Amino acid sequence: MTGSDTPPPLRRLISVPTHRDHPSTRPAPVRGVDAWGAPVNFDPVGRAEWALLLFVSTTCDGCADVWAAAGRADGGIGVEVDSVVVVTAGVTREDADQVRWRSPEGVLTIMSDEAWATYRVAGPPFFVLIDGVGAEVATEGVVVSPSDVIEHVRWAKRKVTTRSGPGGPAPSRGGGQGSTRDNPRFSPRSR
């Protein structure tokens, strides 16, 4: 096989439309329930920080690496952000027992059909990076691999930093409502 006969690298193949360079989705609170049925609300804009929403399913074979990477403290998918939130479909479409079993310890997990519709998620695994200070979706797309998401997060953060231009630094992060660890539903396994 010659170089021109070789297929493109798998990590660059995207099977559904994405808006990574110009996301048109507006950030909105994620409202739903945890895997025990208790109401949960996560407002990524009110937090004034970088938030990564990971849309996954318990029945998605391609989601296993995303579930695992969401919970890794060092080098995991959330290494470049302040908050990681796993979002599954609602209780009528997902098995709450499976969501409890797969939910990474220390990561807020919300079951919400509304969030899937609001963020226009066609299917899992999908990610949405929200710049809480700029109140915008910085990038979004299909998760090809956890490392691909990390690359896109870094790219989007650099884009925001360069956008601040010579007039001053990018807005500071933090000072919001705290990390997801402050949410009472932060660690499903700790119950």
Predicted local confidence at residue 26, as pLDDT: 77
pLDDT at site 169: 40
- Give dist(CA 90, CA 95) in Å, integer: 9
What is residue 112's predicted lDDT score, i.e. its pLDDT? 97
**Residue 191 has what pLDDT?**
36
Residue 136: the pLDDT is 87
Tokens of 178: 């705290």
pLDDT for residue 55: 97
Domains plus CATH for the chain?
51-165 (3.40.30.10)
How far CA 104 is from CA of 4, 55, 73, 101, in Å, comes to 42, 14, 10, 8
What is the structure's pLDDT at 84?
Answer: 93
Burial class (CB in 10 A: 0-12, 13-18, 19+), 140: buried
CB 47 within 8 A of CB 180: no
The per-residue pLDDT string of the chain (191 residues; one tens digit each, 9 = 90 and over) reads 444 444 334 444 444 444 555 556 678 999 999 999 999 999 988 878 999 999 999 999 899 999 999 988 677 888 889 999 999 999 999 999 999 999 988 899 999 999 999 998 989 999 999 998 888 888 888 888 999 899 888 888 888 766 554 443 444 444 333 344 444 334 334 33
Sequence-separated (6 or more) residues with CB below 8 Å from residue 68: 104
* Closest-CA residue to 48 (of 21, 77, 81): 81
